[in-house]
Structure formats: structure tokens, C-alpha cells
Amino acid sequence: MHQSLGGRHPQQLSPNQAEKRAKIVEAAKTVLAENGLTGCTARAVAAASPLTKSAIHYYFADMDELVDQAMAAHIAAFVHAIRQAVAQHTDVTERFWSAVAEYLKIFNDAPRTIVLWHEYWLHSVRSGRLEAIDAMTRDVTGIFHDLLRAINVEEPGLRARMLTSYLIGAATRQAVTDRPFSVVQEEITLLCPLG
């Protein structure tokens, strides 16, 4: 039996190994987006990538490690999209609302994403693997913290955490029922008085 590289840090891999690992993560992202957490098996990832099931087991210690990496890549793309929306504006209040709108748009454009997000949260909590989910939450909350601080909202850290929780709920609700953005703005203004 061969030794797994799963425990090694990506910077310890050769360029060829890093490329193969990245291809596996990209395939896992696709499988997660299409089939959810329960559908993300080594066989499904192998079918979506140019590599074999044994390669997946070689490059990742277990499926949890692979799912963590794929979800981190999803969140990185999510954060990047929000930051790009913010960068389109110079006014601090417009920057804030563009971040909120982009957050909700991402989930609205791909409704299964909110289900995946909840599945991943529950799986992480049940398995006691909280580090990855905590890092992802900090990334998203950090965007709103910076935006609220720029508007001079009192207690931007607390408000950003409250807003992030609200937005997860709003994204879940919008998967069931479409609500005008003006309603969302009214509710957010109660949480985060913008002055």
C-alpha cells in the first residue's frame, strides 16, 4: 500500500503533485455544487476529474480533508465576488449595499448552494471539524466588519457577526420565497443603523 500525501502541506508538494491535487479539489467543487455533500464521494470526484479514485486517496488523507479544501475554494470565490462588487463603488454606503446584494445574488443564482452551505455546517459540527467552518465565517464576516467600520457604525464587529447570521437566514428564505431587496434593506438597517 502506498503512503498518502494527504498530511503534507501543499507547499511541500512538487509542482506536478500540486497540480494533480488542485485538479482533484476542482472536481470536488463541481461534485459538491451538483450533488451536495452526500454525493461527494471518491468515486464521484474521480468521475469528474482526469484522475483515479486511488489518486484521490493518495493526495488526501480522507474525504473530509478534500471536502474542506473544496469548500474553502468555494468560499474564496464567494469572497472574491463580493469584494469585486464592493470595488465597483467609492461611496462607503454604496459599497456596503453592493456587498449585501452580491451575497444574496450568489445564493439566488445557484439556490442549491445554500443547501450545500447548511449541509457542510452540520457535517462540520457533527464531526467536530470546526476549524475550516470558523475560518470561512471569519472571511465573510471580515468583509462586513470592514465595510461597517468605514461607515462608522457602532460596534462593527458585533454588527458584522449579526449581519452574517441574518444573511445566511435571508439566503435560506429567498430559496423558498422571493423578497424585494428593499425589505432586506429595511431589516438590515434595524440590525446595523447606518446613521
Domain extents in the chain: 1-61, 63-195
Domain boundaries 63-195, CATH class: mainly alpha
Q: What pLDDT is stored for residue 1 in this prediction?
A: 39
Q: What pLDDT is stored for residue 6 in this prediction?
A: 55
Query: What stretches in the chain show pLDDT beneath 50?
Result: 1-2
Question: Grid coordinates standing for 10?
Answer: 501543499
Q: Which CATH number fits domain 1-61: 1.10.3470, 1.10.10, 2.40.160, 1.20.120?
A: 1.10.10
- CA pseudo-torsion sign 88, 94, 95, 96: negative
* pTM for the full predicted model: 0.86
Q: What pLDDT is stored for residue 2 in this prediction?
A: 44
Q: What pLDDT is stored for residue 10 in this prediction?
A: 57
| DSSP sequence for 59-100 | H-SSHHHHHHHHHHHHHHHHHHHHHHHHHT--SHHHHHHHHH
Report which of 45, 72, 53 is spatially closest to residue 135, judged by C-alpha positions. 72
- Say which amino acid occupies 49: S
